[in-house]
Amino acid sequence: MILVSPDKIAAVMSLTAVPHSFAELDELVAHGLPKSALKASVERICRSSEERRLLLHRIVPEATYKRRRERLTAEESERAERLARVYATAQYVWDSEDDARAFLNTPHAMLRGETPLDVSFTELGARRVEELLWRLYYGIAA
């Protein structure tokens, strides 16, 4: 399976320190991404302010998010990176932000009727979504 490059993932999160390898991206995540990285990802994925609020606080509870000064924890950063990676992959496959957003928010039969966004909340789920996206990209029966 092909992976979307670390700079594409960083672009979704609007990171100023652009990683050039997955090792660099992993280091950024391990040290905690800025809160703005999560917010930027959520802004790209959701269509309405209510959707943005719900998704943001599904990743980091509202009270916890408000207490965070500048950086997310390593665990929260992993969730933010996973979200950005799945979105970057969908954007690459569909070659459109609108189509990527629609794909992530529409239930899919190959995901047992769940939305790709909902399935992506675990690492294994995110891998399932990425695999589905690459199968669609290469025209392999999904």
> Which residues are bridge partners to 71 per DSSP?
34
Backbone CA torsion sign across 96, 100, 106, 107: positive
Across residues 15-19, what is the average pLDDT?
94
pLDDT per residue as tens digits for the range 102-125: 999 999 999 999 999 999 999 999
Q: What is the pLDDT of residue 1?
A: 57
pLDDT band at 68 (very low <50, low <70, confident <90, very high): confident
The residue to which tokens 């794909």 are assigned: 103
Q: What is the pLDDT of residue 34?
A: 96
Domain chopping of the chain, boundaries: 6-137
% residues pLDDT > 90 (the chain): 93
pLDDT band at 140 (very low <50, low <70, confident <90, very high): confident
Q: Report the candidate in 65, 72, 77, 73 with the shortest Cα–Cα distance to residue 26.
A: 77
Q: What six digits make up the tokens of 11?
A: 């672009």
pLDDT(142) > 70:
no
pLDDT per residue as tens digits for the range 34-57: 999 999 999 999 989 999 999 999
For residue 71, give the 3-state DSSP assignment.
Answer: strand
Q: What six digits make up the tokens of 66?
A: 């408000």
pLDDT(80) > 90:
yes
- Given a contact cutoff of 8 angstroms between Cβ atoms, the answer to whether 33 and 15 are in contact is yes
